[in-house]
Structure 1
Amino acid sequence: MVGVMTALTSPGQLAANLPGILGFYPHDSVIFAAFDCTGTAGRFRLGPVIRLDIDDMRHLPDITRTIDESGGELVFAFVVTDRDEEEVGEVVDTLLTMVRTGIMDIHACWIAGEILTGEPVQLAFGPVPEPGEEGWSEAWLDDVIAPVAQAQSMGALLEHGMLPDLNREETFEQFARFNPSFSPVECEQLSEFAHRYSRELLRALEQGEERTWGSFAALSGDIALLLTEIEEQDLTVADLMADEETLLTMGAALGNATMRDIVVEDVLRRPSPAADLLLAVARTFGGPVRFNALALHALCALELKLSMRAIPALSAVLVEDPRHSLTRLLLDACRAGAFDELLAAVRQGSVIVRTAHGITPQLGVEAA
């Protein structure tokens, strides 16, 4: 679920934007698009977009609550499936029941077999014009999906050389723990070492002992330098997954909340190389290092305007650890579409932690 701003004049245009908004092509899905008022009559701003599996309709009350909390003034729904007419009818009937009982205020609902350019989009139900009121144009009743590749929501993906994934499963596979450069046993050994070393480093730093990093500023400086080198050498995620020293350096920095919060500012200054390194770390290590890596990877994605990549990363964490507090906070803000506010708050929090541990902007750079 994400929020974007775009100019849309037909259901076919809105549907064409869905792969870019979600980050993948939806199948067997019900998608809710909430709009906020702009203050200009007849004009709305696209806010949160929420996808639900057709087989998970029991979660509709949760969707309703999320939309209500976002303050959406107008809600459109899309049923995207190639199932038979009877099954589609059951889904539409369920949505209509939600509307008629006042549980969810869906202004209109359309049906599409799949989100492909030229695919028909047909109105399932919508508002009935008041006496004397002009009804919707034909395009809002029966439309076709506009060119998906030209949709405005594709801009951020294309800018980074990406395309929407073919399905939701493919999106989540990116965040699975799997590093082909090391055996599962080796990954476990690396993970155990990173967590143990992280605890030792934090204790040494707090006591002023000379270890790998003699100060928290040196920690920040080394991470900043590492990210600069990755960017200059144009290293890929695959390259980074094969570099044990680099993995352990970042892994050790993510093994506890204090050091994690300190390096947040460093990774957000260089979000592109940081996103790649954090993904490599998440695929290699388990436990808190993995969870923190995915959380910070999501923040980098938001900084790069790739919100469609952030939410799956956060969701992957909560599947393994529903109590991971940072991830829960980040995901709640993402569900509200408050991306800019979230980044500002996280940055402010990192600055507070850095200042408390003797790091100024100058020290963070000079320590490298």
Structure 2
Amino acid sequence: MTALSSPGQLAANLPGILGFYPHDSVIFAAFDSTGAQNRFRLGPVIRLDIDDLRHLPDVARTLDESGEDLIFAFVVTRRSEEEIEEIIDTLLALVRTCIMPIHACWVTPEILTGEPVQIAFGPAPVPGEENWSEVWFDDVIAPVVQAQAMASLLANGMLPDLNREETFEQFARFNPSFTPTECDQLSDFAHRHSHSLLNAPDRGGVAGLAADIGLLLTEIEEQDLTVADLMADEETLLTIGVVLGNATLRDIIIEDTLRQAAPAARILLAAARTFDGIVRLNALALYAVCALELKLPMRAMPALAAVLVEDPGHTLSVLLLDACRAGAFDTLLQAVREGSRMVRTAHDITDGVGLEAA
């Protein structure tokens, strides 16, 4: 990320980092030292509803375990001055009792360009010495759309959602092109045919299906089909639904989806909104993997959270979310790619069948 030299610049990056505009929130931005004087690298960013401040000790433990060297807090709210003072007192109590070393805290009504950012507390400047607190004082929020964290969203034709609820709504099961009964029928078909295909004595069917997925993703990209278009296409939905009906077929197509992550993300989101059960869960998990490939972790983590709300034991999503929380995106992508290639090899899927030549 480009160097940030003011609280207004850091605040402007928060919607891009979170994937939505935070409201009525306390946001913690943690940094680790780079070894250079007064130079820090952004680490975990954690948002908490103001009404959920009882969870502050959990946030403190998470940040302590991550081993960050510097923690900033932003209180984003339009509540009364008296209520804001109570929030600040609560945060100061964490500092005074050594529960969380918050080095500075700012208050702003909204994360919008030009809104004021006012210092609530921080270290006093040392006279005669270069000190970050001399410049990280009161400020205004920099242009949000120009923030570096917004780049990956804009590159994929997206903007931050208006709020957290809107982020999670996009992962709900709802397809307006089919009735709930029709969606259930599509789900039953996908589940049945997924297992019959995997258990068929002719393994060529699996390899052929992998090839079909690669061609399907190319077609989606060439025709610039949207998620709405794909949710209305029964044949396309069933093609992807069948391969998401069990872990083996799901793992086989991971390599194909990562090679064409943008169209794959669209069809996987369409599938997640249409199917139920393991097909939906696997669709959301692979959508998260594609989002990471597209440099969109702010889309990946809510998708994985949606899976674990419905099935806390979905193994792939548990592993993916743990890696995401640790910020190990590149390591995660390498691991799932290697796993997919191993499964493909076990099913005799070569570069010429369902896998582009390297």
Q: Does 1:333 align with 2:317?
A: no
What SS does the aligned partner of 1:103 have? coil
Q: Is the 8 A contact 2:320 2:332 kept in 1?
A: yes
What SS does the aligned partner of 2:136 have? helix
Q: Deviations over 1:24-70 (max 9, x none)?
A: 11001111111122221211111221111111112223222322333
Q: TM-score, normalised by structure 1?
A: 0.92
Q: Does 1:243 align with 2:239?
A: no
Match of 1:50 in 2: 46
Q: What amino acid is the match of 2:332?
A: L
What SS does the aligned partner of 2:145 have? helix
**CA shift in 2, pair 1:358/1:15, >3 Å:** same
Q: What amino acid is the match of 2:290?
A: C
Q: Does 1:176 align with 2:162?
A: no
Q: Deviations over 1:186-244 (max 9, x none)?
A: 1111112211221111111xx336xxxx3432221111111111111111111100111
Match of 2:2 in 1: 6
Match of 2:252 among 257, 262, 281: 262
Q: Does 1:79 align with 2:69?
A: no
Inter-partner Cα distance in structure 2 for 1:244 and 1:43: 53
Q: What amino acid is the match of 1:146?
A: A
Match of 2:287 in 1: 297
What SS does the aligned partner of 1:364 have? coil
Q: Is the 8 A contact 1:6 1:46 kept in 2?
A: no
Match of 2:308 among 318, 336, 342: 318
Inter-partner Cα distance in structure 2 for 1:73 and 1:259: 43
Q: Is the 8 A contact 1:6 1:45 kept in 2?
A: no
Inter-partner Cα distance in structure 2 for 1:127 and 1:315: 37
Q: Deviations over 1:144-178 (max 9, x none)?
A: 11111111111111112211111111111111110
Inter-partner Cα distance in structure 2 for 1:343 and 1:94: 39
Q: Is the 8 A contact 2:255 2:355 kept in 1?
A: no
Match of 1:287 in 2: 277
Match of 2:336 in 1: 346
Inter-partner Cα distance in structure 1 for 2:63 and 2:333: 22
Aligned structure 1 segments of 4 or more residues deviating by more than 6 angstroms: none
Match of 1:208 in 2: 202
Inter-partner Cα distance in structure 2 for 1:17 and 1:365: 38
Inter-partner Cα distance in structure 2 for 1:199 and 1:326: 19
Inter-partner Cα distance in structure 1 for 2:344 and 2:61: 37
Q: What amino acid is the match of 2:180?
A: P
Q: Deviations over 1:64-120 (max 9, x none)?
A: 232233332211111101111222222222222222222212111111111011111
Q: Does 1:26 align with 2:16?
A: no
Q: Is the 8 A contact 2:193 2:242 kept in 1?
A: yes
- The CA RMSD measured in Å over matched residues stands at 1.8
Q: CA deviation at 1:315?
A: 1.2
Q: Is the 8 A contact 2:285 2:316 kept in 1?
A: yes
Inter-partner Cα distance in structure 1 for 2:261 and 2:94: 42
Q: Gaps (5+ residues) in structure 2?
A: none
Inter-partner Cα distance in structure 2 for 1:363 and 1:242: 28
Match of 1:163 among 159, 163, 166: 159
Q: Does 1:120 align with 2:110?
A: no
What SS does the aligned partner of 1:150 have? coil
What SS does the aligned partner of 2:160 have? coil
What SS does the aligned partner of 2:43 have? strand
Sequence identity (%): 75
**CA shift in 2, pair 1:242/1:141, >3 Å:** same
Q: Is the 8 A contact 2:207 2:348 kept in 1?
A: yes
Q: TM-score, normalised by structure 2?
A: 0.95
Inter-partner Cα distance in structure 2 for 1:9 and 1:43: 10
Match of 2:104 in 1: 108
Q: What amino acid is the match of 1:179?
A: N
**CA shift in 2, pair 1:330/1:365, >3 Å:** closer
Match of 1:273 in 2: 263
**CA shift in 2, pair 1:88/1:71, >3 Å:** same
Q: CA deviation at 1:133?
A: 4.6
Q: What amino acid is the match of 1:208?
A: D
Q: CA deviation at 1:134?
A: 5.2
Match of 2:190 in 1: 194
Q: Say how many residue pairs are matched.
A: 357
Q: Deviations over 1:274-329 (max 9, x none)?
A: 00000000000011111110111111111111111111111111121122111111
Q: Does 1:99 align with 2:89?
A: no
